[in-house]
Chains A and B, each alone.
Chain A
Amino acid sequence: MAPKRKRGTSSAEDIVKNKKSKEGIRNYLHSSSLTSHHHHVSRAPFSVKKCQNWFREYMDPDTDSLGPEGMEKFCEDIGVEPENLVMLVLAWMLDAKQMGFFTQTEWMNGMTKLQVDGTEKIRGKLETLRALLDEPATFKKIYRYAYDFARVNKDQRSMDLDTAQAMLTLLLGRQWPLFSQFHQFLEKTKYKVINKDQWCNILEFSRAIRPDLSNYDEDGAWPVMLDEFVEWFRLHQTGGASSSAFT
């Protein structure tokens, strides 16, 4: 589902678009799982019953949903660190609303989509899920999804800086050459929160602008935060260069 729209005009078109793209991914998963099918143990067909029972293994009986403790156990069972990016992809596949939690509906819908009803089967899927990150269009969807997913306080529209920093590290830490500088910049600025527009544009910026910033256009529509980053970066670079020249 699309991130909740504040002005309540979530158009039917949007939902359709989203559905389509998810279906596309599902097909993609199916086809790739066909090849892996033969090599892995999970030959048995998908069973709703089995899947439900599987959920109950991790479910917190008080809330009827899978909570932090269950999550930890789940991660252990499938052999993945909770901070691993693949967990974000899984959460995206399940369309989970809140980091650290899966509701039963999310679980059942998502796992059905994945045709997975047990630990072994999901292990067999992890590579396929990871591979989704290499696809730019899909990565962009996951990146955008992460903003709403990771926000602690859903009442506020913006994300606090600490969460944002953590999520950015997870998502862009390895692939954006300027990431460490950007991280440093955020540490030093007055920004306390990041809004969705800034969030989305950080990815666009990391993709569109060369590491030497040679194709950055200051008359462009980048959010002011990114203009400030460029300014800071240039000052920092030249300052650093000259001071190193003196020493």
Chain B
Amino acid sequence: MSLKPRIVNFEETWGRLLETVQSVIQLGDIKRGTWSDRFSDVYALCVAFPEPHSERLYNVTKLFLEEHVDNLRKQVAGAGESLLSQYHRFWQQYSKGAAYMDQLYSYLNQHIRKQKMSEADRNFGAFTDTIEEQLMDIGELALDIWKRLMIRPLDKCLQELLLREMLKDRAGDDTQHTVLHSVINSLVEVEQYKKKQQLKLYQDLFEIKCLEQTGAFYRKESARLLQDHDCSQYMGKVLQRLQEEQLRSRKFLHPSSYHRVLEECQKRMVADHMSLLHSECRTMVRKEQRQDLSRMYELLKPITSGLSIMVEELEAHIIDSGRQAIAGLHGDNIPAQFVEAMLSLHIKFSEMITTVFNKDQLFTKSLDMACSSVVNKKLSSKHNSCRSPELLARHCDALLKKSSKGSSESELDDRLGQCILVFRYIDDKDIFQRFYARMLAKRLIHGLSTSMDAEESMINKLKQACGYEFTNKLHRMFTDMGVSDDLNNKFAKFSQEKETDLGINFSIYVLTTGSWPLGQSALTPFAISQELEKSVRMFEIFYSEKFPGRKLTWLHHLCTGELKLNYLKKPYIVTTTTFQMAVLLMFNNQDTVQYSELINSSLINEKELSKTVQSLIDTKFIEQNHEGPITENTSFTLNLLYSNKRTKFKITTAVQRDPPQQEVEQTHNAVDEDRKLYLQAAIVRIMKARKKLRHNILIQEVISQARSRFSPSVSMIKKCIEALIDKQYLERTTKADEYAYVA
């Protein structure tokens, strides 16, 4: 056949075409050849010569479809009870048929589209609404006709029947799922060619009413359920209902409705009964009724701010449980108990949040808030301090100290990791740092650490949690130890080269001033024992040669010496403090020594010396010759009958231990001083940058800067501001509550 336009007899061609079209729309059987011929017929009509018949073809097709649909409607309307299934059957057929029609007419469609384009060109910029009837693709035309002549006239009827079926389904009665689904979705499909508001027909005709009906149903249903059930059962039923309703949506409705229906159900069964749920919530949290809580969580989660009361209740509950646990601590080893209690609190509730609350962030956050509230609880309103930082530091100390009960390295590491967990909740991190530093210093100097690897790993953990600045000094202390080992080796070599025999084993630690929390206040004059003098001098020479300009201060009160006792039945090796050693060495040449001699030769101050002598009396190395308080004339005799089960032991502990209360106080004072300096520095920094600042803003800025170390009180900040005004770094401006930086 030729594609060239030619004269076509319209009547005759349409006659042939109509026959096929009638069959197509009813999904009749059509031979491939016939299909092709009719396809060409459409083409021929559209390009007919001299005048194309496209418009005419469009009109007769339209007429045909209208007649067809009108006919179908009459059958549907007359179907009575089976109206829906009849509609469904026709729709299934018609919608498919229409799609085939569209293909058959594809040349006409093209033709129409072209025409539209050129029209649009002509009306460039103007809308074409005024044109009476826009020509449509045949598929679209078919659906449009269905909408006009089938759905519109029957809309009330369809709506009513559909809603009735939905109700029946809810009541558990049988319904024809496929019919319902197809009828409902025909409302969407019929609009598939539309570019805008495809869902409008569906929504107007069905969805709005459907939601209304759902809401009304569940309003009644929830009232009924509440009458017969307690809160826990109610929640169970509601969850079940919600589940069912979700399934129902998927069975019948268009996807765009799923969440709307669900929301409507939630509104009626959950949001409308919020106050009831919230009032039950407290008991459930307090009694930790996991199943109920998990149900409630599931119900309240989708409601806007529905969880807030639950979150608050949980937080309050964690705080109460935590405070109870902490308040109940007594007996030995409070630090370990404290950390244990915090850990078990944390573990218990994070497990609960994971399983019951789906690890919801809101709850995780409330756990954090609660833990930090428990950890930072002040002892009393008067006491401004809280013991947690100290307790935690003591626990770390106990873990890192050499002890009889050996735990494996990984176990120790785990436990230190747990300490960090508690550490993160502490507000006053600077207090912890002070205590930790003091204890670390003791461990390092007296060689009490269980392992240097563990020490280092803990410092690194703290660094990770709090930053480099925080652990700076701890790191320096740690490195000093390593450097000192190196120095000792070099010194040994140095003495060898000089061919000096020191007569004793000698090792030192060189500690950087300022990095170690060692007060110089405890320094007493000390005339070094003869036996040590050579070593000390040699080392000073060695050190000043190696680091000219550096000054060494000997901290004798921190040193220890090992003595071998040869005057007893068997030889003993005793570790003593340097002062104890000095006293004992005095007995090398005589068995009885007067206190005045001790004073004169050692030069140790009264307080330190009496403490030292007392420790030797207590350990039974020497005996006081007369009862009563020690005076200058008191004399002491070496106990030649001394015996001990062990042959190697220490007598240093009694002297080295600080009175704990004093230590705590010192630490707190030191922290307070640090804080003032820190705050003043922060204030100056801020004011230098901002020049002028309102009081409240300055306070906020300072608090936020200090947060990682401690939480300063407003009055402390104010005092620091006043101190800076007094020092004329700041001044008040003429405006109330404003400060200015004085350059």
Given the known inter-chain contacts A220-B695, A221-B695, A221-B737, please indicate yes or no for A6 contacting B728, CB distance below 8 A: yes
State whether A197 and B736 are in contact (beta carbons under 8 Å apart), knowing that A219-B696, A223-B722 are contacts in the complex. Answer: no
Known A219-B696, A220-B695, A221-B695; contact A196-B736, beta-carbon cutoff 8 A? no
Enumerate chain B residues within 8 angstroms of A158, measured Cβ to Cβ. 726
* Closest chain A residue to B724, Cβ basis: A197
A39 sits at the interface (CB 8 A): no
B732's contact among A6, A7, A197, A208, by CB below 8 Å, is which? A197
Contact sample, A vs B, 7 pairs, CB 8 Å cutoff: A195-B725, A197-B722, A200-B732, A219-B695, A220-B736, A224-B715, A227-B718
Q: Is B739 an interface residue (CB 8 A)?
A: yes
Q: Select A221's contact among B715, B719, B736, B742, beta carbons within 8 Å.
A: B736
Cβ B737 vs Cβ A195 within 8 A: no
State whether A197 and B737 are in contact (beta carbons under 8 Å apart), knowing that A219-B696, A220-B695, A221-B695 are contacts in the complex: no
Q: Nearest chain A CB to B573's CB is how many angstroms away?
A: 55
B579-617: CB near A (< 8 Å → 1, else 0) gives 000000000000000000000000000000000000000
Roughly how many angstroms separate A208 CA and B738 CA in the complex, as a whole number?
A: 16
Q: Which B residues are in CB contact (< 8 Å) with A197?
A: 722, 725-726, 732
Closest-CB distance, B288 to chain A (whole angstroms) = 40
Find out whether the CB atom of A7 lies under 8 angstroms from the CB atom of B742: yes
User: Do most interface residues of chain A lie in helix, strand or loop, or is the interface mixed?
Assistant: loop
Specify which chain A residues have a CB less than 8 angstroms from the CB of B726 in the assembled complex: 157-158, 195-197
Give the residues in chain B near A190, CB-CB below 8 Å.
none
Q: Which of A188-247 contact B (CB under 8 A)?
A: 195-198, 200, 208, 219-221, 223-224, 227
Known: A7-B742, A219-B696. A224 touches B728 (CB 8 A): no
Contact assessment for A223 and B696 in the assembled complex, using a CB-CB cutoff below 8 Å = no
Are the CB atoms of A224 and B695 closer together than 8 Å?
no
Chain B residues with Cβ under 8 A from A198's Cβ? 722
Please tell me if the beta carbons of B718 and A224 are within 8 angstroms of each other in the complex: yes
- Which has the most chain A C-beta neighbours within 10 Å: B719, B736, B738? B736
Residues on A with C-beta less than 8 A from B732 are: 197, 200, 221
How far is A195 from B737 in the complex, measured between Cα atoms in Å? 18
A residues engaging B (CB < 8 A)? 5-7, 9, 157-158, 195-198, 200, 208, 219-221, 223-224, 227
Q: Which residues of B contact A9 (CB under 8 A)?
A: 742-743
User: CA of A220 to CA of B719 in the docked complex: distance in angstroms?
Assistant: 13
- 7 nearest A-B residue pairs (beta carbon): A221-B695, A221-B737, A197-B725, A195-B726, A7-B728, A224-B718, A224-B719
**Across the interface, which residues of B come within 8 angstroms of A200, CB to CB?**
732
Closest chain B residue to A218, Cβ basis:
B714
- In the docked arrangement, what's the CA distance between A219 and B717, Å? 12
Q: Within the complex, what minimum Cβ distance (angstroms) separates A52 from chain B?
A: 38
Residues B684-743 near A (CB distance < 8 A)? 695-696, 714-715, 718-719, 721-722, 725-728, 732, 736-739, 742-743
**What residues of A have a CB within 8 angstroms of the CB of B725 in the complex?**
195, 197
* CB of B714, distance to nearest CB on chain A (Å): 8
CA distance A6 to B724 in the complex (A): 13
Instruction: Report A222 CB to chain B, min CB distance, Å.
Output: 8
B residues contacting A by CB (< 8 A) are: 695-696, 714-715, 718-719, 721-722, 725-728, 732, 736-739, 742-743
Question: A221 touching B739 by the CB < 8 A rule?
Answer: yes
In whole angstroms, how far apart are the Cα atoms of A9 and B732 in the complex? 17
- Complex CA gap A221/B738 in Å reads 8
Of the candidates B714, B728, B743, the one whose C-beta lies within 8 Å of that of A5 is B728
**A223 touches which of B718, B727, B736 (Cβ 8 Å):** B718
* B339 vs chain A, min Cβ distance (A): 36
Instruction: List the B residue with the shortest CB-CB distance to A221.
Output: B695
A155: min CB distance to chain B, Å: 15
Chain B residues, Cβ within 8 Å of A219: 695-696, 714
User: Whole-angstrom distance between the alpha carbons of A195 and B725 in the complex?
Assistant: 10
With a CB–CB cut-off of 8 A, which chain B residues contact A223? 718, 722
CB-defined contacts of B743 to chain A, threshold 8 Å:
9
Are B715 and A227 in touch, CB under 8 angstroms?
A: yes
What's the least CB distance linking A246 to chain B, in Å?
A: 25
Q: Closest CB-CB distance, A140 to chain B, in whole Å?
A: 11
Instruction: Please measure, in the bound complex, the distance between the C-alpha atom of A220 and the C-alpha atom of B736, giving whole angstroms.
Output: 9
> Nearest Cβ distance between residue A63 and chain B, in whole angstroms?
32
Complex Cα gap A208–B736 (Å)? 10
Closest Cβ of chain A to B687, distance in Å, is 13
Docked CA distance A198–B728 (Å): 14
In the complex, what distance in Å separates the CA atom of A5 from the CA atom of B742? 12
| Min C-beta distance of B725 to chain A, whole Å | 5
Q: In whole angstroms, how far apart are the Cα atoms of A223 and B737 in the complex?
A: 11
Give the distance in Å from the alpha carbon of A103 to the alpha carbon of B718 in the complex: 40
Whole-angstrom CA separation of A158 from B722 in the bound complex: 13
Query: What is the bound-complex CA distance between A197 and B723, given in angstroms?
Result: 9
Taking CB atoms, residues of chain A closer than 8 Å to B695 are 219-221
Contacts of A221 in B (CB 8 A): 695, 718, 721, 732, 736-739
Most A Cβ at <10 Å: residue of B714, B715, B722? B722
Give chain B residues whose Cβ lies under 8 Å from the Cβ of A7: 728, 742
With a 10 A CB-CB cut-off, give which of A9, A197, A200 has the most chain B CB atoms.
A197
Q: From residue A159, how far is it (CB to closest CB) to chain B in Å?
A: 12
- B728 near A220: Cβ-Cβ < 8 Å: no
Residues of A contacting B736 with CB < 8 Å? 208, 220-221
For the complex, what is the distance from the CA of A7 to the CA of B724, rounded to whole Å?
A: 12
On chain A, the residues within 8 Å of B714 by CB distance are 219
CA of A5 to CA of B721 in the docked complex: distance in angstroms? 18
Chain A residue at smallest Cβ distance from B695: A221
B728 in contact with A195 (CB, 8 Å): no
In the bound assembly, the distance between CA atoms of A227 and B739 in angstroms comes to 18
CB neighbours of B696 from chain A (8 A): 219
Q: CA of A196 to CA of B726 in the docked complex: distance in angstroms?
A: 7
Shortest Cβ gap from B552 to chain A (Å):
38
A198 to B719, CA, bound (A): 11
Q: Tell me, in angstroms, the Cα distance from A7 to B726 when the chains sit together.
A: 11
Nearest opposing residue in chain B for A228, CB measure: B715
Measured CB to CB, the closest approach of chain A to B736, in angstroms, equals 7
Cβ of A5: which chain B residues have Cβ within 8 Å of it? 728
Minimum C-beta distance from A204 to chain B (A)? 8
Give B462 Cβ to nearest chain A Cβ, in Å. Answer: 34
CB A219 to nearest CB in B, in angstroms, measures 6
Q: How far is the CA of A195 from the CA of B727 in the complex (A)?
A: 10
Which A residues lie within 8 Å of B742 (CB)?
7, 9
- The residues of B that contact A220 with a CB separation of less than 8 Å are 695, 736-737
Per the bound structure, the CA–CA distance linking A236 and B134 in Å amounts to: 90
CB distance from A132 to the nearest CB of B (A): 21
Cα–Cα, bound, A197→B728 (Å): 10
Please indicate the chain B residues that have their CB under 8 angstroms from the CB of A227 in the complex: 715, 718
CA distance A5 to B718 in the complex (A): 22
Residues of A within 8 A of B738 (CB): 221
Q: How far is the CB of B656 from chain A (nearest CB, A)?
A: 36
Minimum C-beta distance from A191 to chain B (A): 12
B722 engages A195 (CB within 8 Å): yes
CA distance A157 to B726 in the complex (A): 8
A206 CA to B211 CA, complexed, in Å: 67
Least distance between B683 CB and chain A CB atoms (Å):
13
What B residues does A6 contact at CB under 8 A? 727-728
When distances are taken between beta carbons in the complex, the residues of chain A under 8 Å from B718 are 221, 223-224, 227
